[in-house]
C-alpha cells in the first residue's frame, strides 16, 4: 500500500508511474489527497475541542475545590455541547479514515523507473538468453504423452479424484518431483536462506498483507466456514511471519525459503498451451523471500535473479530473463523479472519463475518496520521469487531430455532421485 504522504509530496510522479502500469483510475490520487486534507482538518478540530474540554475540566475542579459550586455547574453546562461536538467529529473522522483506506488499497504499487512501457506480455523486455535449444529426435513427444508412455504422471486419475488441474505423480514421476523439491531447498540453503515450514491456509489479514486481498480473491480457494484461504504461493505465509513486527537494522537482510503446495483457482482456456503440466490448480513450488534495507533491495533483486538462473543452468535448461512491462506486472510489484525455459517439444517458452521487488508496498500493509541505528523506524523492502515452480520445470526436463530409449535425468538430480534414466 502506498503511503499518503508520499502520494501528496510526489503527486505528478505518482500519476506518471501509475500510467506506466496502465492504471485507469488516476482520479483516485486527487480523491486520496482531498480525503487526507479532510482527515487532518477533522482531527485538528477534534483535538482543539478535546484540549478545551480538558482545560474546562481543570477549571471546574478548581472551582469545586474553592467552593464555587454554582460557577462550576454553569461551566459544566457550557461544556456539555462541546462533548457532543467531539463525539460527532470522531465519528466523522472514522468515516473519513475508512473511505481513505478503501481508496488507498485500490492503488497498485508504483513501477520502478526501469519498467518498460507496454500492455501485453509481447511487450516485455528480453534481458538475456542462456543456453542452446536441445537437439531432439524426430519422434519427440510433448510431456503429457511422455508421462503416459512411461507411466509417471496420470492426469485422468487426478480428474477422477479432484478435477482437471490436479495430476497424480507415480513411481519415478513422484521421485522426480520430490528430487526437484529437495534440490531447490538444498541450493537455497547453500545461498543462505533459512527454511520455513508454514501453514497452507491463511487468514484475511495475511492475504491483505502481501497484496492478494482484496485484489485476487477470485483466484484463491476459500474455505468459507472458517474464512481461510488456501495459499497461492509460500510468499504469503512466509512474508506474514513478520507482520506487525519491528526488526532491528542489524537483523537485515532476512532470508527465508519454503516448500509448499500452491493452489490457484484461475481457469485456463483449452489448447496445448494449458495441457498437461502447463497450467494447474495445485502445484509444488519452492519460494525464496527476503526482507532487506531499502538501500540494498535492487542489488539483492539481481542476486535473487542470478540464484534462480543458477538452478536453470545446473538443470541444463535453455532459458531467458524478461523484465516485465507495466501492463504485465502484478498489482504489488515495483519490478519483476520472469524466467522462461524453452520447451523444444512444444516449441515455445514456458514461464517458470518470477522474481519481484515490492519495495515498501507489502511492508506498509504488513505494518512491518525496522529500527535504524539512530532509533528511527523505517519500512524495509520485501522481495520474493520462485526458486522454482515445479510443473513447467518438470515438463521441460521430460521434453528436452528425451531420447529414443528414454529420458535422461539431469546430473544434479541423480543424488536425489537414485536413478539417472526414466525408461
Which residues participate in the annotated binding site for ATP? 264-266, 351-354
- pLDDT of 53 reads 73
Cα angle value 149/285/206 (rounded, 5°): 145
- pLDDT of 1 reads 93
Q: Which of 167, 170, 176, 134 is nearest to 151 (CA)?
A: 170
CB atoms closer than 10 angstroms to residue 341? 25
What pTM was estimated for this model as a whole? Answer: 0.91
Task: Note the helical H segments in 212-359.
Answer: 235-240, 297-314
- pLDDT of 269 reads 45
Which residues participate in the annotated binding site for L-serine? 233, 264, 287, 384
Strand partners, 130: 319
- pLDDT of 235 reads 97
- Alpha-carbon span 341 to 397, nearest angstrom: 10
Q: Which of 301, 374, 369 is nearest to 339 (CA)?
A: 301
Instruction: Report residue 132 CA to chain centroid gap.
Output: 32
- pLDDT of 63 reads 63
- pLDDT of 374 reads 81
Please state the length of the chain: 423
- pLDDT of 327 reads 95
- pLDDT of 145 reads 96
- Alpha-carbon span 362 to 366, nearest angstrom: 6
Q: Which of 315, 389, 313 is nearest to 355 (CA)?
A: 389
Cβ-contact 235, 200 below 8 angstroms:
no
Please report the domains of the chain, with CATH numbers, ordered by start residue. 4-104 (1.10.287.40), 121-422 (3.30.930.10)
CB within 8 Å of 387: residues ≥ 6 apart: 184, 187, 188, 257, 286, 287, 288, 304, 307, 308, 311, 353
Per-residue pLDDT 10s for the chain (423 aa) are: 999 999 999 999 999 999 999 999 999 999 999 999 999 999 999 888 787 777 766 776 776 677 766 665 666 666 666 777 888 899 999 999 999 999 999 999 999 999 999 999 999 999 999 999 888 888 899 999 999 999 999 999 999 999 999 999 999 999 999 999 999 999 999 999 999 999 999 999 999 999 999 877 788 999 999 999 999 999 999 999 999 999 999 999 999 999 999 999 875 544 556 789 998 999 999 999 999 999 999 999 999 999 999 999 999 999 999 999 999 999 999 999 999 999 988 989 999 999 999 999 999 999 999 998 788 999 999 999 999 999 999 999 999 999 989 999 999 999 999 999 999
- pLDDT of 72 reads 59
- pLDDT of 85 reads 81
Question: What's the sign of the alpha-carbon dihedral 193, 196, 200, 206?
Answer: negative
Cβ-contact 334, 112 below 8 angstroms:
yes
Q: Which of 233, 290, 291 is nearest to 259 (CA)?
A: 233
CB atoms closer than 10 angstroms to residue 25? 12
- pLDDT of 79 reads 67
- Which string of b and e fits 174-194 if b means at least 16 CB within 10 Å? ebbbebbbbbbbebbeebebe
Which residues participate in the annotated binding site? 233, 264-266, 287, 351-354, 384
CB atoms closer than 10 angstroms to residue 308? 24
**3-class DSSP state for residue 279?**
coil
Cα angle value 322/326/328 (rounded, 5°): 65
* Radius of gyration of the chain, Cα coordinates, nearest whole angstrom: 28
CB within 8 Å of 146: residues ≥ 6 apart: 152, 398, 399, 402, 407
- pLDDT of 76 reads 64
- pLDDT of 52 reads 77
Q: How far is CA 127 from CA 42, 75, 122, in A?
A: 50, 74, 14
Q: How far is CA 80 from CA 46, 73, 199, 233, 346, in A?
A: 15, 11, 53, 55, 78
Amino acid at each position: 500500500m502506498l503511503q499518503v504522504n508520499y502520494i501528496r509530496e510526489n503527486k505528478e510522479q505518482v500519476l506518471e508511474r501509475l500510467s506506466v502500469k496502465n492504471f485507469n483510475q488516476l482520479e483516485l490520487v486527487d480523491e486520496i489527497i482531498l480525503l487526507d486534507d479532510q482527515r487532518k482538518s477533522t482531527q485538528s478540530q477534534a483535538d482543539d475541542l478535546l484540549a478545551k474540554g480538558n482545560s474546562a475540566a481543570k477549571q471546574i475542579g478548581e472551582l469545586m475545590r474553592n467552593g464555587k459550586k454554582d460557577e462550576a455547574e454553569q461551566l459544566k453546562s457550557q461544556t456539555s455541547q462541546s462533548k457532543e461536538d467531539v463525539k460527532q467529529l470522531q465519528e466523522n473522522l472514522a468515516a473519513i479514515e475508512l473511505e481513505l483506506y478503501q481508496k488507498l488499497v485500490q492503488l497498485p504499487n508504483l513501477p520502478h523507473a526501469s519498467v518498460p512501457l507496454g500492455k501485453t506480455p509481447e511487450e516485455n523486455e528480453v534481458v538475456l538468453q542462456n543456453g542452446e535449444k536441445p537437439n531432439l529426435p524426430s519422434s519427440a513427444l510433448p510431456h503429457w504423452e511422455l508421462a503416459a508412455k512411461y507411466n509417471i504422471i496420470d492426469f485422468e486419475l487426478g480428474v477422477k479424484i479432484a478435477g482437471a488441474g490436479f495430476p497424480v505423480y507415480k513411481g519415478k514421476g513422484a521421485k522426480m518431483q520430490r528430487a526437484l523439491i529437495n534440490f531447490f531447498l538444498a541450493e537455497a540453503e547453500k545461498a543462505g536462506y533459512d527454511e520455513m515450514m508454514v501453514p497452507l491456509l491463511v487468514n484475511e489479514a495475511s492475504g491483505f498483507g502481501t497484496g492478494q486481498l482484496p485484489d485476487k480473491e477470485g483466484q484463491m480457494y476459500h474455505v468459507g466456514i472458517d474464512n481461510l484461504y488456501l495459499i497461492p504461493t509460500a510468499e504469503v505465509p512466509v512474508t506474514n511471519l513478520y507482520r506487525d513486527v519491528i526488526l532491528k537494522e542489524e537483523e537485515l537482510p532476512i532470508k527465508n525459503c519454503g516448500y509448499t503446495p500452491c493452489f490457484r483457482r484461475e481457469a485456463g482456456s483449452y489448447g496445448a498451451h494449458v495441457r498437461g503440466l502447463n497450467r494447474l490448480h495445485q502445484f509444488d513450488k519452492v519460494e525464496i523471500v527476503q526482507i532487506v534495507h531499502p538501500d540494498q533491495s535492487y542489488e539483492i533483486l539481481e542476486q535473487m535473479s542470478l540464484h534462480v538462473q543458477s538452478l536453470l543452468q545446473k538443470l541444463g535448461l535453455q532459458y531467458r530473463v524478461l523484465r516485465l512491462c507495466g501492463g504485465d506486472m502484478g498489482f504489488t510489484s515495483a519490478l519483476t523479472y520472469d524466467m522462461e525455459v524453452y520447451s523444444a517439444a512444444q516449441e515455445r517458452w514456458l514461464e517458470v519463475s518470477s522474481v519481484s521487488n515490492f519495495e515498501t508496498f507489502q511492508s506498509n500493509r504488513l505494518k512491518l518496520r525496522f529500527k535504524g541505528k539512530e532509533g528511527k523506524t523505517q519500512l524495509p523492502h520485501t522481495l520474493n521469487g520462485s526458486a522454482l515452480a515445479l510443473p513447467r520445470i518438470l515438463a521441460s526436463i521430460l521434453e528436452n531430455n528425451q531420447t529414443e530409449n528414454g529420458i535422461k535425468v539431469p546430473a544434479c538430480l541423480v543424488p536425489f532421485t537414485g536413478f539417472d534414466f526414466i525408461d
